[in-house]
Amino acid sequence: MRKIALVAAASAAALSLAACSEATEDSAGETVDSAAADTEANMEAAGNTMEEGAAEMEAGADEMAADADAAAAEVEADVQDETTAEAQAD
């Protein structure tokens, strides 16, 4: 359905450009180029935001893993009646 709509829109645009003057065609071409550049810039910004979010998630996961290791060492230290440092060394 989407492809049909895109083909119809492209056909309508092509027909309307065929009836336009050269200046109008140039203006339309510049508008298309500008829209493409804007789209590319927005996609790049979205990609950068996603990469930053992934880096933050990775840092959070590393912190959670370190907290879990510390908690496990405390439990092991309590169970084996040793210091936390000794439990972490095991």
pLDDT in tens, 64-89: 999 999 999 999 998 998 888 887 77
If one counts every other C-beta atom within 10 angstroms of the C-beta of residue 61, the result is 10
User: Under 8 Å CB-to-CB from 30, ≥6 apart: which residues?
Assistant: none
Tell me the CB-side half-sphere exposure of residue 70, using CA atoms within 13 A.
6
Q: Provide the pLDDT for residue 89.
A: 79
Q: What percent of the chain has pLDDT over 70?
A: 78
User: Average pLDDT of 5-33?
Assistant: 72
